[in-house]
Amino acid sequence: MPGELAAVVQLFEASLADVTFPDVDATRLRSLAAEVQRATSDVDRARDALAAAERAASAATDALRAAAQRGLAYARVFADADPARQPLRAALDEIGAMTAPASGKPAPSPTGKKRGRPRKVQPDPLFTIAPAETATSTGNARTE
């Protein structure tokens, strides 16, 4: 119960115990305060039950995900064993794309090849070695 409400209840129980206002007196406030505490306890129990249910749902989802991934792996091996099962393999690849982990990276292609045009390789000017100048060509040669 908020502190200011507890203070009002306490005030009516001590200093205003003998005073009665329309619909407000120490007995009424005490009763309402008890109702607030019961409701708060109900909320706490409901939050605990919700947290337990969320943990159970998460564990069940993880178990289902692991079994589904295992099943997809078995089904891929089964589909790859016979070329006539190519439509099954296509369906498995489509499902696999939907169940791929949500990372920032795209799912790898089924063939294992990178898609798109290869990057153009340009030497980095910071790390290129300039041709070495000969000591005689710069005029800095020492003669002893």
Are 33 and 2 in contact by the 8 Å Cβ rule? The answer is no
- From CA 32, how far away is CA 34, in angstroms rounded? 5
pLDDT band at 9 (very low <50, low <70, confident <90, very high): very high
- The string of pLDDT tens digits covering residues 51-92 is 999 999 999 999 999 999 999 999 999 999 988 999 999 999
Are 25 and 19 in contact by the 8 Å Cβ rule? The answer is yes
First and final C-alpha spacing in the chain? 97
Residue type, 106: P
